[in-house]
Structure 1
Amino acid sequence: MKNISKTYSGNQVLKNVSLTIKEGEIHGLVGENGAGKSTLMNILFGMPVIHSTGGFEGEILFDGKTCNPKSPTEAMEMGIGMVHQEFMLIPGFTITENIKLNRENTKPTTLSKVLGPKLEKLNFTKMKEDAKNALNKLNMTVDEYLPVAGLPVGYMQFIEIAREIDKSNLKLLILDEPTAVLTESEADQFLDVIQNLSNMGIAILFITHRLDEIKQVTDSITILRDGSLVKSIPTSEIDIIEMAKLMVGREITSTTSDKKDIDSDTSPYLELKDLYVDMPGERVKGVNLQIRKGEILGLGGLAGQGKIGIANGIMGLYPTKGSILKDGKEMPLNNPREMLNNAVAFLSEDRKGVGLLLDEPIDFNIAFTSLEIQEKFINKIGPFKIVDSKSIKFHAEKIIKDLDIRCTGPNQYTRFLSGGNQQKVCIARALTLNPDILLVSEPTRGIDIGAKKLVLDTLVKLNQELNMTIIITSSELAELRQVSDRIAIISEGKVHTILPPDASDEAFGLAMAGEDIDKVVS
């Protein structure tokens, strides 16, 4: 890709960016949210949004030939595949149907022999065999006839990748944040897979915010900042600290909080008793947990073990039974509005499905829940209630600045923000409620290293300055150890153990595997 430039509505998002990748090479592409990574890949993959907004400037050469794919179909015919940051699966279809979509295997029928191949019938046996082979390459032991709806997000990501590697002419595979939804163990498995693909001669363009992964598997990297090329360099010649500095244009230091000594004799501020949550893929099977006022409690564990189900159950988003007590008072189950009324706010791991109104502007997204639940931003004139648009805009402008939400202004629609900035809007919406308890699920999923630090700093600041009780669910154990006072490891739907953040790596590893840790915990 030579001197690629792209402008959206007068805003230049790429400025003369060049990128080269060799056959069989794993090439890392890094940069903050909004740096232009996804736009560059959308150009290469021929996404319609590029050509419906005026196209791009520059030149693409693929396999020695000048090309300009006008659609994903053209790109795929050339041998380019792409796994997008947001899932492109059809929930009601089976795993096999998603993998083989638009490339179905067929077999002749009597009519097709006379009237043509359009009357051939699906060869389900061959489709199942192909799907199984693709899944086996990813070391996935899952029934290929299962529907995609309800599967854990980690499974969905591997299905996306299986669909691409099932293609016979694949030469270049673009992976846009493929490990953002994976646990550390799943990510390690995934990195082994792309190394194998590279050994088969397939070039990999790997976009991720996990710089340790970039250092681990890539041969070379390209760093973007604010739509411009900062550096292209062999990975062996740069360390993670220098990568981060070049990405954000400043030094990045780890977030840490002053850990509190949790007095187990004080009354719990939030207590879960025998909590069951029927969340597909993340079922909770009898959790007992006590959280103290002003504590940051981390919830960790492997995918599918129930950690994500706890916060969703507390908020009543999935069928729940058991008891939830806040400050000694029993909370109603299966009633999200009542939890919000009781100053419990929730930041969902599913920012697009649950966290955002994608076709509304940023300011309305930030204010919506407070407007609905607390009647904030409303002027009362007699019996009439009128939305105070001016105060909504003022509040949004302040919080956009505080959280460094990169946008054209409070009127921009959230659909057109990058993934990291969408996540910040979700955080802004939760904070606008001024909650006593904040439930945060996967807060830094798909966020770059600079934004990640800002998000974690914000949570620590809320805890320290407002004494806000925060429960963080994360697949990133290192993050939990940085900011949590205690970390509960969830295994098989229950609390396996609770560890201090400074417990040994061995202790955390055994706990997450569901093993006895008495031998290694002092």
Structure 2
Amino acid sequence: MASGPLLKVEGVGKAYFNNRVLKNVNFTLEKGQILGLVGENGAGKSTLMNILFGMTVIKETGGYEGDIFVDGEKVAFNTPFDALRAGIGMVHQEFSLIPGFSVAENIVLNREPTKYNFLVEAFGDRLKTLERDTMTERGKKAIDKLNVALEPDSLISELPVGYKQFTEIAREIDKENTRLLVLDEPTAVLTESEADTLLTSMRRLANMGISIIFISHRLQEILDVCDKIVILRDGEVVHETSPSGTDIMPIASHMVGRDVASAFAREDDPERQMGAPLLSVEHLWVDMPGETVRDVSFDVKEGEIFGIGGLAGQGKLGIPNGIMGMFPSGGSVTFEGKSVGLNEPTNALSVGMSAVYEDRRGVGLLLEEPISWNIIFTALQMQGRFLKPLLGGLVKIRDEEAISSCARDYIKSLEIKCVSERQRVQELSGGNQQKVCLAKAFETKPKLLFVAEPTRGIDVGAKKVVLDTLKLYNKKHGMTIVMVSSELEELRSVCDRIAIVDSGRIAGILTAESPSTEFGLLMLGAVKQEEKVSV
């Protein structure tokens, strides 16, 4: 093996047509080292990793400038298979799992152990029999390295988002020749305890000699686990440091090019007024795999920003999904004094409720369609807007000018980084896709908006834009908002009250100004039923 760094990136640049996304990027990564790669959404992180992993979009759009060396040897991967053969594995920000397969089947996919049977003589190796026991054993071995409670036989379609992420990572661990592992936002969908488990596993892998590039917007995790930190801004390396030589605020300031110390400070507005209960939920149960709701009751006041928090798997995500008719549910939901039927999405939409779901790619977006079409789609389908009459009203066609104008307004107000409103959503970074989801929900002009994990997987600058936009729509447009999030401090920065969900039930409802220790006790189930606080 050659001496020197395992990975050397030298003068790498990339432009998509007239849009330059990388400029003269340089850094090195030693064997067994964990490198934290941070930057705002659109800073170039994903493009850089696509180059390293040989994603075909790079070659199809003209290639890249500069050189990449692995163990001192210059490489230029044309496909991900080239990178895999060289020992480079990658866990992408969005899942690439087969829902109908089990955890073990996904972990060993395309590397399944097989055994001989008599049909091989007649039909060839493709009719070899799968060694199911070995597959399960390999899956369990990879899972054990992550130290998570995940059954190899569980179906992917029945798992909550966090456990799907662990399955993705376990698949890379199962590969025997992996020597460089790229983790793109692996903790974005994990709770703090799950993230801690993953960080411990990363350090164990590094001690085994595996190098890791860790991309995360959770800057404390970067400081806790990484050996060095590379910060990208506008496609350039603006700073390289070590955890011992920096802190969260300096990193964030380098990322966005401005001071962010007060970005999430709570700003109470004495002029805000809240009315009578707009939404009343009584004894709601929801059968959502991994997020079961057993018995939930609460009221949301008109004009309020109501928060729902709690650990993953306790049921907080099941609440909006059940009310909006996405999963089987029961109980009573009343909106503006009128009963809302469950188990049918159009019921909630028709009375003025809308939602931004946690699975933006699976539920929220039409990935192959342009930004403009994504933003107006629900408004057009449910409300008949963005149509203009022809032939005296006998037929209606899409009003393309109005659609484009609407999209441009949201691109400006939400700071969506894109080439134009005609760019396909699948080409956007995760944070910008999230902003498109928000724009789509805002354009339906709902009276009440559910937003689930609105800042998942986006950087500190984009988080502020998203949270400020939610506050703006609440204040200026009178929109009542129910925000579901794993980030307690974000809930406390924007919400009036926060309900904590534990074991499928409301453990308590506190004002945002309540001490963090009280929220922590509710999350851990340490408060007895008669001691739970409600306002």
TM-score between the two structures when normalised by the length of structure 2: 0.93
Unaligned 5+ residue runs, structure 2?
A: 1-8
Question: Which whole-Å CA distance do the structure 2 matches of 1:168 and 1:387 have between them?
Answer: 53
The C-alpha deviation readout for 1:115-143, integer Å capped at 9, x for no partner, is 98666432222221111111111112222
Pick one of 299, 307, 314 that aligns with 2:323. 314
TM alignment of 1:337-352, pairs within 5 A: 337-352=346-361
Deviates more, 1:345-354 or 1:462-471: 462-471
Pick one of 183, 187, 206 that aligns with 1:179. 187
Alpha-carbon contact 1:26-1:219 (below 8 Å) kept? yes
TM alignment of 1:36-55, pairs within 5 A: 36-55=44-63
Question: Which whole-Å CA distance do the structure 1 matches of 2:340 and 2:118 have between them?
Answer: 65
TM alignment of 1:199-348, pairs within 5 A: 199-252=207-260, 253-255=262-264, 256-258=266-268, 267-348=276-357
Question: Which whole-Å CA distance do the structure 2 matches of 1:320 and 1:446 have between them?
Answer: 29
The C-alpha deviation readout for 1:221-273, integer Å capped at 9, x for no partner, is 11111111212222221221111111111222333241789999x74211001
Question: Which whole-Å CA distance do the structure 1 matches of 2:110 and 2:128 have between them?
Answer: 14
Alpha-carbon contact 1:298-1:484 (below 8 Å) kept? yes
Alpha-carbon contact 2:93-2:185 (below 8 Å) kept? yes
1:437 to 1:247, Cα distance in 2 relative to 1, 3 A: same
The C-alpha deviation readout for 1:462-490, integer Å capped at 9, x for no partner, is 22223321100011112111111111111
Question: Which whole-Å CA distance do the structure 1 matches of 2:206 and 2:533 have between them?
Answer: 40
Alpha-carbon contact 1:325-1:331 (below 8 Å) kept? yes
1:319 to 1:371, Cα distance in 2 relative to 1, 3 A: same
1:343 to 1:19, Cα distance in 2 relative to 1, 3 A: same
1:394 maps to 405
Letter in 2 for 1:55: G
1:259 to 1:490, Cα distance in 2 relative to 1, 3 A: farther
1:429 maps to 440
Shift of 1:521: 7.5
Shift of 1:113: 9.4
SS at match of 1:18: strand
2:5 maps to none
The C-alpha deviation readout for 1:361-384, integer Å capped at 9, x for no partner, is 111211111122222222334333
Question: Which whole-Å CA distance do the structure 2 matches of 1:511 and 1:70 have between them?
Answer: 51
1:195 to 1:113, Cα distance in 2 relative to 1, 3 A: farther
* Aligned residues with identical type, % of pairs: 52
2:487 maps to 476
Question: Which whole-Å CA distance do the structure 2 matches of 1:23 and 1:113 have between them?
Answer: 45
Shift of 1:501: 2.1
Question: Which whole-Å CA distance do the structure 2 matches of 1:436 and 1:158 have between them?
Answer: 37
Question: Which whole-Å CA distance do the structure 1 matches of 2:344 and 2:464 have between them?
Answer: 33
Pick one of 473, 478, 494 that aligns with 1:467. 478
Shift of 1:392: 1.5
Shift of 1:43: 1.0
2:426 maps to 415
Letter in 2 for 1:383: L
Question: Which whole-Å CA distance do the structure 1 matches of 2:31 and 2:97 have between them?
Answer: 28
Question: Which whole-Å CA distance do the structure 2 matches of 1:498 and 1:295 have between them?
Answer: 14
SS at match of 1:29: strand
Letter in 2 for 1:46: G
Alpha-carbon contact 2:308-2:498 (below 8 Å) kept? yes
Deviates more, 1:437-446 or 1:226-235: 226-235
Letter in 2 for 1:335: E
The C-alpha deviation readout for 1:384-427, integer Å capped at 9, x for no partner, is 32322111211211111010011111111111111111110111
TM-score between the two structures when normalised by the length of structure 1: 0.95
Q: Across the two proteins, how many residue pairs are aligned to each other?
A: 521
1:403 maps to 414
Shift of 1:82: 0.6
Letter in 1 for 2:506: V
Unaligned 5+ residue runs, structure 1?
A: none
Deviates more, 1:39-48 or 1:100-109: 100-109
Shift of 1:60: 1.0
Question: Which whole-Å CA distance do the structure 1 matches of 2:21 and 2:159 have between them?
Answer: 35
2:92 maps to 84
Letter in 2 for 1:499: L
Letter in 2 for 1:136: D
1:367 maps to 376
Shift of 1:11: 2.0
Letter in 2 for 1:53: T
Question: Which whole-Å CA distance do the structure 1 matches of 2:10 and 2:87 have between them?
Answer: 19
1:97 correspondence with 2:108: no
1:379 to 1:108, Cα distance in 2 relative to 1, 3 A: closer
Alpha-carbon contact 1:299-1:490 (below 8 Å) kept? yes
Q: CA RMSD in A?
A: 2.3
Alpha-carbon contact 2:508-2:533 (below 8 Å) kept? no
1:507 maps to 518
Deviates more, 1:500-509 or 1:255-264: 255-264
Alpha-carbon contact 2:88-2:181 (below 8 Å) kept? yes
Question: Which whole-Å CA distance do the structure 1 matches of 2:459 and 2:254 have between them?
Answer: 13
1:117 to 1:382, Cα distance in 2 relative to 1, 3 A: closer
The C-alpha deviation readout for 1:325-371, integer Å capped at 9, x for no partner, is 11211112223223222111111111111111112211121111112
Letter in 1 for 2:343: N
Shift of 1:207: 0.4
Question: Which whole-Å CA distance do the structure 2 matches of 1:410 and 1:22 have between them?
Answer: 41
Shift of 1:31: 0.8
1:492 maps to 503
1:163 maps to 171
SS at match of 1:236: helix
Question: Which whole-Å CA distance do the structure 2 matches of 1:263 and 1:379 have between them?
Answer: 38
Shift of 1:39: 0.9
Pick one of 456, 460, 469 that aligns with 1:449. 460
